[in-house]
């Protein structure tokens, strides 16, 4: 297949003057495009303001003909929780009908900046860290059955903590054989991509070419169509022949990853991750680096959703009527104890609905998330004389009335589904909102501990997970790693169908199982009774898992809980220790979110 059929990423930006003349696309009520960042094969990216969260993000607006790819990219990204993989925020449809995806803004420098570092030791350490982080991200991605498909320097940036983050999943998907349609970025895509093959080995080739450029400042085969011919007819030069400063092991590793034949490359990203550790280690550390093949960071249970078929259908039925402007209820309460999966069910249904709207299957619908303050800011609610009212109950009623009026005005353009977090203020507002007849154009959805006995609320009560659901949760979270049957059944028996408890115990089993397997301990090293020692007490399980965190990870988690984005100063940890501590806390399920970490649930708080 001729190389000209590639979908080629942007290799340069237009001049600032030309970019300044470009008309920015109108997005929707939540996101406002600010400035153009670049253009790729499937769409154009912009910096944007997230009015709901009050910060900046990145929005990728897909061309009309590539709109279906947006749904695939969103589905892939929304289930991933790895510190070196960009986090997605939302999917929507712009005013001109094009689909867009909003994701976190990775605000640091480009990967190419490494080559310009003048201090040799600083450059080496930064390079080795970035290599390890990107290989770890690919190992996590591949374990979930996904391939990035376009690893290149343009798709890597550093975040505020200096971590390398993999971007742009527009060509991602499950492995596939050649389809005849070539995909990738010229100079970084492997030979097999010429016939449309997408596989893990291709990501390793792209990673090697990307790292080659990060160290030397030049792509191993050059760029453009000429790079394809060189790739097919010659071998890449060694790293050392272009720029010295790395160990010979790096030459061997990069050369093997750039092999034209798939079979000659390393067998997996996890093997590359181990090889990077050995190539980067000082002589005294090499013995430890050779002990085992590391398992990637990231939450193994992020995005794993099991069971809840009837409850999901009940929620969808209400929201589908809302999309038609004929919602039969003003509010929808997902009822269950903390940790029962209320928030997860709401998010899963909201994602499905957002995808349906973006794809043009459902009528236009605004899905907004956040607390009452964020919702007030979004809809422009302006209560009159609230602060002057001496009675607290009256102040609350005035506030709720203003928000209700703002929601109805906001819903004139298109129906609104407002997703609120659990909490006393949410409970009070839902009770207020559901006391009046619905307009059909606004539904407030919120978790609740008990059924709400209000005239216009739909209560959806969560049933316990079945034993089959819990088994599926554990096995899917294991990402292909075998879980001993005794440990699996211990989780099933101890969870008693409680989703939060099942998830906490499943995470413990998965992590213990993979650590035992990869450290050579084997099945005998697992103790099902110890794994389930907290019985059916969710607080006990969370307490024990928090106590088991390394001290730095505990400090980082507590600092995030108390100070949010400013937690590092409170934790009093240097940058490298803070980054490692956050990664550990994420892997153990104690932190979630992307560049800005947060606690994953009220039970954790």
pLDDT of 443 > 90? The answer is: yes
Q: Quick: pLDDT tens for 282-312.
A: 644 544 544 456 677 777 788 788 888 999 9
CA distance 445 to 420: 6
- For the chain, the average pLDDT equals 81
State mean pLDDT over 98-115.
88
**Which of the residue ranges 123-132, 363-372, 404-413, 415-424 would you say has the lowest mean pLDDT?**
363-372
**Which of the residue ranges 411-415, 423-427, 486-490 would you say has the lowest mean pLDDT?**
486-490
Please tell me the predicted confidence (pLDDT) of residue 129: 94
CB of 567 within 8 A of CB of 556? yes
The DSSP output letter for 462 is P
Please tell me the predicted confidence (pLDDT) of residue 166: 94
Reported pTM: 0.77
Contacts for 213 with CB less than 8 Å, ≥ 6 apart? 111, 112, 115, 153, 219, 220
Burial of 274 (C-beta count, 10 Å sphere; 0-12/13-18/19+): buried
The strand pairing partners of 59, in sequence order, are 46, 102
State mean pLDDT over 125-152.
92
CA distance 257 to 235: 12
pLDDT of 538 > 70? The answer is: no
Torsion on CA atoms 22, 595, 127, 169, rounded to nearest 10: -60
Q: Which residue has the tokens 């991200």?
A: 137
Confidence of residue 513 (pLDDT cuts 50, 70, 90): low
CA-closest candidate to residue 174, choices 194, 195, 203, 154:
203
Tokens found for residue 293: 């093949």
CB of 471 within 8 A of CB of 490? no
State mean pLDDT over 59-84.
80
**Which of the residue ranges 316-330, 337-351, 461-475 would you say has the lowest mean pLDDT?**
337-351
- CB burial of 382-405 (b: ≥16 within 10 Å; e: otherwise) equals ebeeeeebeeeeebbbbbbebbbe
Q: Which residue has the higher pLDDT, 562 or 18?
A: 562
The interaxial angle of helices 392-410 and 372-379, nearest 10 deg, is 50
Distances (CA, A) of 115 to 84, 225, 323: 20, 24, 51
Q: Which residue has the higher pLDDT, 248 or 230?
A: 248
Most trustworthy range by pLDDT among 114-118, 128-132, 380-384: 128-132
Q: Tell me which H or E stretch contains 154.
A: none
Contacts for 390 with CB less than 8 Å, ≥ 6 apart? none
CA distance 60 to 80: 18
Contacts for 296 with CB less than 8 Å, ≥ 6 apart? 82, 136, 137, 139, 140, 143, 269, 270, 273
Q: Tell me which H or E stretch contains 90.
A: strand 88-93
CA distance 332 to 320: 13
CA distance 533 to 516: 18
pLDDT of 49 > 70? The answer is: yes
**Which of the residue ranges 45-54, 225-234, 378-387, 459-468 would you say has the lowest mean pLDDT?**
378-387
**Which of the residue ranges 208-222, 399-413, 431-445, 515-529 would you say has the lowest mean pLDDT?**
515-529
CB of 220 within 8 A of CB of 237? yes
Tokens found for residue 362: 């459902």
State mean pLDDT over 345-362.
82
Please tell me the predicted confidence (pLDDT) of residue 519: 47
Rounded (5°) CA angle 583-584-586: 65
């Amino acid at each position: 297949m001729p190389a000209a059929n590639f979908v080629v990423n942007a290799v340069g930006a237009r001049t600032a003057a030309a970019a300044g003349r470009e008309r920015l696309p109108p997005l929707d009520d939540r996101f406002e495009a600010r400035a153009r960042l670049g253009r790729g094969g499937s769409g154009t990216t912009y910096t944007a303001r997230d009015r709901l969260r009050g910060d900046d993000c990145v929005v990728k607006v897909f061309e009309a003909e590539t709109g279906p790819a947006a749904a695939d990219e969103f589905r892939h990204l929304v289930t991933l929780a790895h510190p070196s993989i960009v986090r997605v925020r939302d999917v929507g449809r712009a005013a001109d009908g094009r689909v867009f995806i909003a994701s976190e803004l990775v605000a640091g420098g480009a990967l190419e900046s490494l080559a310009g570092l003048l201090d040799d030791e600083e450059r080496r350490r930064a390079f080795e860290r970035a290599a390890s982080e990107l290989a770890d991200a690919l190992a996590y991605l591949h374990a979930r059955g996904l391939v990035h498909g376009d690893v290149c320097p343009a798709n890597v940036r550093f975040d505020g903590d200096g971590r390398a983050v993999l971007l742009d999943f527009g060509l991602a998907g499950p492995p596939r054989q050649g389809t005849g349609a070539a995909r990738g970025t010229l100079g970084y895509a492997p030979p097999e991509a010429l016939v449309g093959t997408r596989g893990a080995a291709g990501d390793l080739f792209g990673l090697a070419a990307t790292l080659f450029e990060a160290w030397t400042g030049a792509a191993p085969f050059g760029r453009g169509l000429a790079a394809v011919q060189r790739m097919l007819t010659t071998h890449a030069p060694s790293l050392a022949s272009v720029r010295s400063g790395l160990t010979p092991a790096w030459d061997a590793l990069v050369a093997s990853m750039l092999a034209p034949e798939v079979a000659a490359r390393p067998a997996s990203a996890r093997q590359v991750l181990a090889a990077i550790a050995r190539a980067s280690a000082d002589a005294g550390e090499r013995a430890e680096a050779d002990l085992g093949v590391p398992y990637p960071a990231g939450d193994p249970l992020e995005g794993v959703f099991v069971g809840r078929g009837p409850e999901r259908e009940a929620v969808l039925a209400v929201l589908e009527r809302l999309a038609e402007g004929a919602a039969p209820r003003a509010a929808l309460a997902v009822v269950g104890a903390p940790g029962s999966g209320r928030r997860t069910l709401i998010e899963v249904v909201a994602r499905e609905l957002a995808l349906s709207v973006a794809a043009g299957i459902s009528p236009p619908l605004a899905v907004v998330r956040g607390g009452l303050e964020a919702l007030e800011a979004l809809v422009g609610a302006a209560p009159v004389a609230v602060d002057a009212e001496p009675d607290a109950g009256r102040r609350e009623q005035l506030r709720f009335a203003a928000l209700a009026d703002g929601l109805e005005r906001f819903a004139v353009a298109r129906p609104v589904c407002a997703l609120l977090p659990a909490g006393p203020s949410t409970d009070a507002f839902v009770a207020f909102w559901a006391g009046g007849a619905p307009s059909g154009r606004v539904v407030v959805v919120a978790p609740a501990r008990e059924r709400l006995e209000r005239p216009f609320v739909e209560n959806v009560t969560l049933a316990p997970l079945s034993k089959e659901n819990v088994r599926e949760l554990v096995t899917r979270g294991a990402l292909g790693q075998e879980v001993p049957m005794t440990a699996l059944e211990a989780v099933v028996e101890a969870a008693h169908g409680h989703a939060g408890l099942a998830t906490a115990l499943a995470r413990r089993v998965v992590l213990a199982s993979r650590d035992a397997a990869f450290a050579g301990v084997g099945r005998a090293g697992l103790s099902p009774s110890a794994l389930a020692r907290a019985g059916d007490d969710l607080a006990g399980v969370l307490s024990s898992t928090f106590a088991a965190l390394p001290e730095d990870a505990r400090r980082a988690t507590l600092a995030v809980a108390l100070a949010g984005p400013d937690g590092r100063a409170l934790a009093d940890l240097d940058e490298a220790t803070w980054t490692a501590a956050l990664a550990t806390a994420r892997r153990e399920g104690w932190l979630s979110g992307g560049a800005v970490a947060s606690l994953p649930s009220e039970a954790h708080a």
